[in-house]
Amino acid sequence: MSDPYAVLGLRPGATEGEVAVAYRELAKVHHPDRARDDGERMRVINSAYDEIVRAGRAVTATPPRSGPSTTTARTARTGTAPPPGAWLSPTVRRQLGRELLDSLQPHEDVLLVADASTWDSPSVRLIATDRRLLWLRDDAPVARVRFMSYAVLENVEARWSRRGRQAELRVKPREGRRLSFAAMAPEAVQALLRVVRPRLGVGSAPA
């Protein structure tokens, strides 16, 4: 792989804040939802960003994103770690709540938040990230948060009520049964289709 800093348009040794800003600006241009290519450029950008963070090569600063290297440095300085989802906006963090925030992977971007219901829970908070779907079953006593990586998905489709007031999102993994998210706002389902369809089969399946 080429120099990750060059991929992000930065000089070697850029601060983590500069890295994060460059990443976000490139994502706005090359995100699969906006770009007309197959997402290959965005995958290169993601790989470059992850390589910099993993190597701990970004100079410590106060960044808009927070990763493992930042967490270690900040903990050493203050004795406290940043809150879960520190790289997200305050509005998104409030929408997700602590359980969903704790379930996010480092630097996982939240693209959409919606309310739904499933066969085993009438009250579900569904989120679509750049990597997977996660949902919180509000009335479940245990194992309240579940997830499904886009890498394992085979198909996604929508169904509409007769009067068009509600919609249902159906996702089908390559293995296992189809999962339905019902009682959703039609505009939320349309937005989810735009997020999920370009990412079907993309990424790494969970080990």
pLDDT of residue 62: 37
Cα torsion through 10, 11, 15, 18, rounded to 10: -20
pLDDT of residue 163: 83
DSSP-assigned letter for residue 157? E
Tell me whether residue 206 is in a domain: no
Select from 40, 56, 78 the last residue of a domain: 78
Q: Are residues 103 and 191 in the same domain?
A: yes
Q: Are residues 70 and 135 in the same domain?
A: no
Q: Are residues 51 and 112 in the same domain?
A: no
Phi, psi of 113 (to 5 degrees): -130, 130
pLDDT of residue 137: 95
Indicate whether this model's pTM tops 0.75: no
Tell me whether residue 109 is in a domain: yes
Q: Are residues 139 and 179 in the same domain?
A: yes
CATH of the domain at 54: 1.10.287
pLDDT of residue 204: 61
pLDDT by residue, tens only, the chain of 207 residues: 578 888 888 888 777 778 877 877 787 777 665 656 657 788 888 888 878 877 764 444 434 444 444 444 544 555 567 888 999 999 999 999 999 999 999 999 999 999 999 999 999 999 999 999 999 999 888 889 999 999 999 999 999 988 888 999 999 999 989 999 999 999 999 999 999 999 998 866 654
Tell me whether residue 204 is in a domain: no
Tell me whether residue 205 is in a domain: no
Q: Are residues 108 and 150 in the same domain?
A: yes
Phi, psi of 171 (to 5 degrees): -120, 135
Q: Are residues 59 and 123 in the same domain?
A: no
Q: How far apart are CA 135 and CA 117, in angstroms?
A: 10
Q: Which residues contact 98 (CB under 8 A, 6 or more apart)?
A: 84
Q: Which residues contact 137 (CB under 8 A, 6 or more apart)?
A: 118, 120, 121, 123, 124, 144, 145, 146
Cα torsion through 4, 7, 200, 133, rounded to 10: 60
Q: Are residues 74 and 96 in the same domain?
A: no
Cα dist from 191 to 123, 133, 157, 165, whole Å: 20, 13, 12, 15
Q: Are residues 34 and 99 in the same domain?
A: no
Tell me whether residue 83 is in a domain: no
pLDDT of residue 31: 65
pLDDT of residue 11: 84
pLDDT of residue 2: 76
Domain count of the fold of the chain: 2
pLDDT of residue 59: 44
> Domain range spanning residue 146?
90-199
